[in-house]
Structure 1
Amino acid sequence: MTKHSLGWIGMGRMGYPMAERLLKAGHSVAIWNRTRAKAEPLAKKGGQIVDHPSELSGKDIVFTMVSTGKDLEQVYFGENGLVATSSGPRPKILVDCSSIGVEQSEAIRARLKQLGCEFISSPVSGNGKCVKAGKLSTVVSGPKAAFDEVEPYLKTIAASGVSYVGEGELSRICKIAHNVFLGVVIQNLAEITILAQKAGVPRHAFLDFMNASVLGSTFTKYKSNALVNLDWTTTFTPALLRKDLDLGLKAARDLDVAMPVTAATREALQSHFGAATLKPDPAAHLEKDFAALLETVALAAGLKLAPENVPMPTGLETEG
């Protein structure tokens, strides 16, 4: 079924189910991950596990899903990197689905262009459960001809939607804007949920109402179970959210855009880091999901939270 030979780098909470979707769709995928054991289960589903990123250099298209821009530079240009050698084959197109800064992405794009490789920026919206449920989406920028080649594979990975927004790093700006909105929404959702609870409304009843209203969304629905039952299983950390809010505010300053709501949200989120020092293990608390900031809002309101033990539908039932 595969028109191109495919490679994949990164088997974290997102990368694993994303690569798995390509394999389930019948594509042949060669995979590298820093910790090989995390990739090995995909060998049973047809994945070819390699020992170094450089072993993917002969593939037509290589996808990456890593944590930071520095990680991306390392797997591309570092020792045994994907395009580290001065000669030999190189992938025609590199597709990065990670969330990295605009300036880092620009620098990487320039280096790849000198090596004859096209670079597609394709950051995604959603978490691992969204991937499995077919509700991941992605925003894409880069050369249009290269996008046209990778679009069918992106539609397999991000079944909810693939939005091409233009050349260069425009998708990075869109992802930063997306995560700014994420921060504003979760902060305000926590505030109004605590407001309702302090007035006497159970969290599950209030969120059931919100989710059924015109303001309900995929996000409010799949976060409701966490907010009701205090399940802070990590999908996205407060530190990563803070980083994205800072990136958004930097972009706003650079482009002369006033973003007072974002600035207020950034400072509200900072209080979560201060509140963490009151926990027995502050570092572990800050590794929990960003929705745990509900506890910080409750603390400021003089409330001590307990799980309501009412299962809430998430809307993220896995496909197939």
Structure 2
Amino acid sequence: MQKIAFLGLGAMGSRMAKNLLDAGYPLTVWNRSKAATEAFAKVGATVADSPAEAAKEADVVMVMVRDDDASMEVWSAPEHGAFNGMKQGAIAVDSSTLSVAGVKKLADVAKQRGITLLEAPVSGTRKPAENAQLVYLVGGDKAAFDKVEPLFRANAKASEYVGDIGSGALAKLATNAMLGIQATAFAELIGMLKHNGVDVEQTLKAVSATTVWAPIANYLTSTMVEQNFAPQFPVELVEKDFRYVEQAAGADMPVSKAARAVFRKAMEQGFGGENLTAVAKLYQK
């Protein structure tokens, strides 16, 4: 069985790493904050002091961190970066949501060191991660994907190969942009319904019977109506992803820019750490 190193044990990474451990894979973990590794040590994982140390014996090294800068640091920092410890033939897998330029730069650094990098961002928040119901959106070498795809099954209901490096980032950014745009639209519309004094839940139920209602709408509207903004996909991360969308665009994107402005305003109001649906608070008196 392949030996796995998992680097980054935040809200998503900790759940993904646990699923791999539960599936029986030999696992070494690293996290910037040592406290996050303690629970893994108690259930049989090896804890490393650096990404390079974690990667030494691994057949597959997986990273799940916040953004471009954090990813590049974990992989390629002098001396302690994971690339420095990886053995010949090991495969690097980054599941962070990165910019297109960022993941291409990372792939170039890996190639210079003779390492194959797959980008494998995931669609899904904390609960799907916990229940192994994520969807991987994978870009990079197809042969490498075929080798690691069985690993993805420990965390996912599907693994979609979409093409060369950069394709996975584009698929993930498109997914998150559609989610963020819908969240801002529902926030405005629920504000409009409340302003007019109608039964919001009954009105939304009626709308849900029409063809415009998407599956994600149930989640978005219910958390807004119930005022349940416990973080699943925080406002500040959605805003970051819209920034990456704008960077990747070959033309003006007025809808995405408008949605990003809503999330920026939510951050200014102190909602950055709350769930993306907290933008609904901007439209309530």
Tell me, yes or no, whether TM beats 0.5: yes
Structure 2: distance between partners of 1:245 and 1:43? 36
Say yes or no: does 1:295 pair with 2:281.
yes
SS at 1:83 equivalent: helix
1:180 is displaced (CA, Å) by 1.2
1:235 is displaced (CA, Å) by 2.3
Structure 2: distance between partners of 1:171 and 1:69? 14
Partner of 1:73: 72
Cα distance change on mapping 1:67 and 1:214 into 2, 3 Å: same
Read off the aligned partner of 1:147 and give its amino acid letter: F
Read off the aligned partner of 2:178 and give its amino acid letter: F
Alignment RMSD (CA, Å): 2.2
Cα distance change on mapping 1:6 and 1:194 into 2, 3 Å: same
Cα distance change on mapping 1:205 and 1:57 into 2, 3 Å: farther
1:15-94 matches, cutoff 5 A: 15-55=13-53, 56-78=55-77, 79-84=79-84, 89-90=87-88, 92-94=90-92
Say yes or no: does 1:243 pair with 2:240.
yes
Say yes or no: does 1:166 pair with 2:163.
yes
Larger mean Cα displacement after TM superposition, 216-225 or 132-141: 216-225
1:134 is displaced (CA, Å) by 3.1
Partner of 1:146: 144
Cα distance change on mapping 1:217 and 1:138 into 2, 3 Å: farther
Say yes or no: does 1:266 pair with 2:260.
yes
Partner of 1:205: 202
1:272 is displaced (CA, Å) by 3.0
Asked if the contact 1:125–1:137 (Cα under 8 Å) also holds between the matched residues in 2, the reply is yes
Say yes or no: does 1:175 pair with 2:169.
no
Unaligned ranges ≥5, structure 1: 277-281, 299-303, 305-320
Asked if the contact 2:62–2:92 (Cα under 8 Å) also holds between the matched residues in 1, the reply is yes
Read off the aligned partner of 1:193 and give its amino acid letter: I
1:128 is displaced (CA, Å) by 1.0
Partner of 2:154: 156
SS at 1:286 equivalent: coil
Partner of 1:192: 189
Encode CA deviations 1:49-84: one digit per residue, 9 max, x unaligned: 222212222211011001122111221222422123
Asked if the contact 2:262–2:279 (Cα under 8 Å) also holds between the matched residues in 1, the reply is no
Structure 2: distance between partners of 1:68 and 1:238? 14
Larger mean Cα displacement after TM superposition, 205-214 or 12-21: 205-214
SS at 1:200 equivalent: coil
Count of residue correspondences: 283
Cα distance change on mapping 1:133 and 1:224 into 2, 3 Å: farther
Unaligned ranges ≥5, structure 2: none
Asked if the contact 1:102–1:173 (Cα under 8 Å) also holds between the matched residues in 2, the reply is yes
Structure 1: distance between partners of 2:32 and 2:248? 32
Structure 2: distance between partners of 1:218 and 1:156? 24
SS at 1:100 equivalent: coil
Structure 1: distance between partners of 2:37 and 2:150? 23
SS at 1:95 equivalent: strand
